[in-house]
Structure 1
Amino acid sequence: MLTPVSESCQPADPPTPATGRAKMSDVARIAGVSQAVVSRLLRGDETLRIREETRNRVLEVAAQLRYTPNEVARALRRAESGILGMAVHDTSNPVYSEIMAGAQEEASASGYALLLADADELARSDRTFERIVRGNRIDGLLLQRGSSTADETIAKIAATRLPLLLVNDRTRGEIGSVALDDDDATYLATRHLVELGHTAIAHLKLGNPKARSEARTRGWRRALHEAGLPDGPQLRGGHTPEEGAAALPRLLASGAAPTGIVVSNVLAAVGAMTAAREAGLRIPEDLSIVAMHDVFFARHLSPPLTVVRLPLRELGRRSVAAILRQLEGSPARHEIITELAPELIVRGSTAPRRKQR
């Protein structure tokens, strides 16, 4: 007969430790349980019997404190499943496909298989995902962050038991990350429009994830200020054609009259181009558009889309290499790929400013 481990009903009041690495006693104190409960739960002890509410509270506190017990870390370094997981938002996104291709190449070269999952579906099937994690069926997880709450659910489950790495994210927390040089990318795009004579340059930004969006906003603003130009109008353009199409009319209705637009997502740029034509604007005669990321269809649009190409495939490779270092016992690090600079690909959607609308 299994004997339940004692637990208290209410969490303790003291706050999260402000400095230093969290200990098991910190998790137990804040969650309001014994250290034995914390230890057995995070080890995946199948004989442990506790209430679901208590179980969730312990996992949440452990995730918030970024606590990983030493015995779990040792077990992870000995893991032999040979499988890495990768969770992205919208597996059909052509931007993500380049990242995944690079990740697959690096994983295969290192003797690992890479399993792909949709982050939102993974979060909805959280109990299934938790069984996979607790059963050590994957050795580590790469998470391409998006704008949904699914990221929090996935991180909460994975962070206490697996090496977790954020892909294309500029976090400075204890979870490792690999990011692109987003600041220089939008700087390059904006400078291109400035050199074409545009003085009213708008920005359709990402919105989320916040760090990536802010980096791209900085690049756009830096190029304007270097040219002695004021900030142009800025609205959220999102990540999809639908969001881009909805943003362009809002931009025009705001009273702004830009002759050039930097769009922080290539799919949103496609929607913005459609909305511009529906508004009676010619591209690039009335409005020049340049977007982040080169995808296979960009050169086939009408007109072909000017883009800034970023090293997406290298991002995938570098992310897998980073999480494999964590599996070998190295601490999590934060990397930004700067040696492969963003590259401007000029096509037909940008031209010298001819007239002010």
Structure 2
Amino acid sequence: MRSTDRKPGARAQAPSMADVAAVAGVSHQTVSRVLNAPKTVRPDTRERVQSAIEQLGYRRNSSARALRTRRTRLIGVVNPGEARFGPANTTMAIEEAARVAGYATTLAVMRDSQAATVEAALEFFLGLGVDGIVVIAPVTQVAAAANELAGSLPVVMVTAGLRPTSKLRVVGVDQELGAYRATRHLIELGHREIIHVSGPNNWFDARSRIVGWRRALTEAGLEVPPIVPGGWDPVDGFAAARGMIADGRVPSSVFAANDLLALGMMRAFHAEGIRVPEDVSVVGFDDTEGAGYYEPPLTTVRQPFAAVGHRAIEVLLGVIEGESVPSDPIAPEVVVRESSGPPREGAP
């Protein structure tokens, strides 16, 4: 029976790959290559197939494909339960990159590396038949869990400051380089006193940013002052700045471990009539949404989260296929705005 001759009320049969091939004037195998390895098909042929797919409204049958290839095209993503800017944006970037590559994602939250937590996550992923796992591991506890998971499935860890192993690939932003560039920016403005207000010590990002700050100061022959312990929230930055003010030692410049710390510090400085950047320059990290609308607009380090998501998926698919894909850290960039300027006259 032709599709135009079907009985009233009968469900239309979904177009098949063979239907697409017939409309495009190509073989079934060519359609498959366009869907799974488009770069191997000539552009003109690829366009004909894609046009036929759109014309027919063809959709791939994921269940049938999974039975045939023993692949589910499903990727597990482990999140540490952090809704903060970095982990949240990394999670979204990974989901988007996976979808572009033809994979779906499923999320498991792992707040610690206890054996029971790791086992529960692994059983969850094994039950779904995921092809591999991406672990977002900003803190030491989750990184330890990633090593446990890597013995059972292909695993890529998104973190900073760790080296890959034979069973675990590592992808991430070069946090040390970002901190180094932020500090160099202040040095090139003429600052010789650059205080660092740090993030939590159990975060790899915070540790790497300390290393980059120290390296820049050491290379410039400048004194490396004591770290001011902070956190990730504006209240932490506010408290750090209030402590400086109370001690009568407001520096000519501050590199804060993230933008929210910088925001809290600028609020404290403003309350005491200390001008930014005339009296003290402030640089943050992350380029969070709205950083350009602080008063003054914040100089900060922008992280390429979309690039991290794509790199994580590329590396994971390489592991699944038994191929080696480069996983070098991705460089961030300094975004210069109005919160940083030359040191005040007479500043050390």
TM-score normalised by the chain length of structure 2: 0.68
Query: Which of the numbers 125, 133, 145 marks the counterpart of 1:133?
Result: 125
- Contact 2:280 2:344 (8 Å CA) reproduced: no
Which residue pairs with 1:170 in the alignment?
161
Query: Which of the numbers 170, 175, 185 marks the counterpart of 1:182?
Result: 175
Aligned AA (1:107):
A
Which residue pairs with 1:272 in the alignment?
265
- Contact 2:160 2:174 (8 Å CA) reproduced: no
Change in Cα spacing, 1:250 to 1:86, as seen in structure 2 (3 Å) is farther
| 1:308 partner SS | strand
Which residue pairs with 1:349 in the alignment?
339
- Give per-residue Cα distances to partners, 1:235-267, cap 9 Å, x unaligned: 233333333333333455566431111112223
* Aligned mates of 1:268, 1:255 — CA distance in 2: 20
- Give per-residue Cα distances to partners, 1:134-182, cap 9 Å, x unaligned: 4253222222223363543x43652331222211323225221012222
Please, which runs of 5 or more residues in structure 1 have no aligned partner?
1-77
Which residue pairs with 1:293 in the alignment?
286
Query: Which of the numbers 74, 77, 88 marks the counterpart of 1:83?
Result: 74
- Contact 1:85 1:117 (8 Å CA) reproduced: yes
Please, which runs of 5 or more residues in structure 2 have no aligned partner?
1-68
* Aligned mates of 1:109, 1:204 — CA distance in 2: 38
* Aligned mates of 1:275, 1:183 — CA distance in 2: 27
Query: Which of the numbers 106, 111, 114 marks the counterpart of 2:105?
Result: 114
Superposition RMSD in Å: 3.2
Determine which structure has greater relative contact order: mean sequence separation of CA pairs < 8 Å that are 6+ residues apart, divided by chain length: 1
* Aligned mates of 2:204, 2:91 — CA distance in 1: 21
Identity over aligned residues, as a percent?
32
Which residue pairs with 1:215 in the alignment?
208
| 1:87 partner SS | strand
Which residue pairs with 2:38 in the alignment?
none
Q: Does 1:192 find its partner at 2:189?
A: no
Change in Cα spacing, 1:159 to 1:252, as seen in structure 2 (3 Å) is farther
Which residue pairs with 2:135 in the alignment?
143
Q: How many residues align?
A: 277
1:292, distance to aligned residue in structure 2 (A): 1.6
1:325, distance to aligned residue in structure 2 (A): 1.1
Which residue pairs with 2:37 in the alignment?
none
| 2:111 partner SS | helix
- Contact 2:250 2:280 (8 Å CA) reproduced: no
- Contact 2:132 2:155 (8 Å CA) reproduced: yes
1:91, distance to aligned residue in structure 2 (A): 4.8
TM-score normalised by the chain length of structure 1: 0.67
- Contact 1:170 1:334 (8 Å CA) reproduced: no
Query: Which of the numbers 315, 330, 333 marks the counterpart of 1:322?
Result: 315
* Aligned mates of 1:215, 1:303 — CA distance in 2: 27
Which residue pairs with 2:3 in the alignment?
none
- Contact 1:99 1:314 (8 Å CA) reproduced: no
- Contact 2:276 2:340 (8 Å CA) reproduced: yes
> Which region of structure 1 is more displaced relative to structure 2, 267-276 or 247-256?
247-256
1:331, distance to aligned residue in structure 2 (A): 6.5
- Contact 2:110 2:117 (8 Å CA) reproduced: no
- Give per-residue Cα distances to partners, 1:297-338, cap 9 Å, x unaligned: 11121221111223221011101111111111246975222x
